[in-house]
Amino acid sequence: MTRTPLGDAIPGLWEDLDRRGIPVQEPLWVARSVGTLAADEKFHGSLPRSPSLITGHTLYSAHSQMWEIEDAITRLEPEWLGKENARIFDLSRHGPSYFTSKSGL
């Protein structure tokens, strides 16, 4: 959970999370994750004709730390989505899409 003004509006939220042992991070860690995606070239886009900041990566930020999780999610896709569904989804990820063909990207 990230401390935000929205959470501040819920009486007792932060104290309840603390009492339950649920870590709360400051917004700075979300900003660091966004900055990492923007600044670290290993996360820059590899899609054909894509702007360099369309990355295809996800950073999970919690406990004042961050982890890249998209590679693991993609690698395990056949297990959680099913082999046939993962195969079809992979085709849509690599082949021409309706959006690209109509947009000229």
The pLDDT > 70 percentage for the chain reads 75
Q: How would you label 8-34 residue by residue, b for 16+ Cβ within 10 Å and e otherwise?
A: eeeeeeeeeeeeeeeebbeeebeebbe
pTM over 0.85: no
What percentage of the chain has pLDDT greater than the value 90? 29
The C-alpha atoms of residue 24 and residue 18 are separated, in whole angstroms, by 8
Domain that holds residue 98: 69-105
Extended strands (E) in the chain: 59-62, 65-68
pLDDT digits (tens, 9 = 90+) for 24-41: 999 998 898 888 877 877
Task: Give the three-state DSSP class for 23.
Answer: coil
Q: How far does the chain reach from its first CA to its final CA, in angstroms?
A: 37
Same domain, 63 and 81: no
Are 1 and 47 within one domain? yes
Structural domain tally of the chain?
Answer: 2
**Statement to judge: residues 55 and 10 lie in one domain:** yes
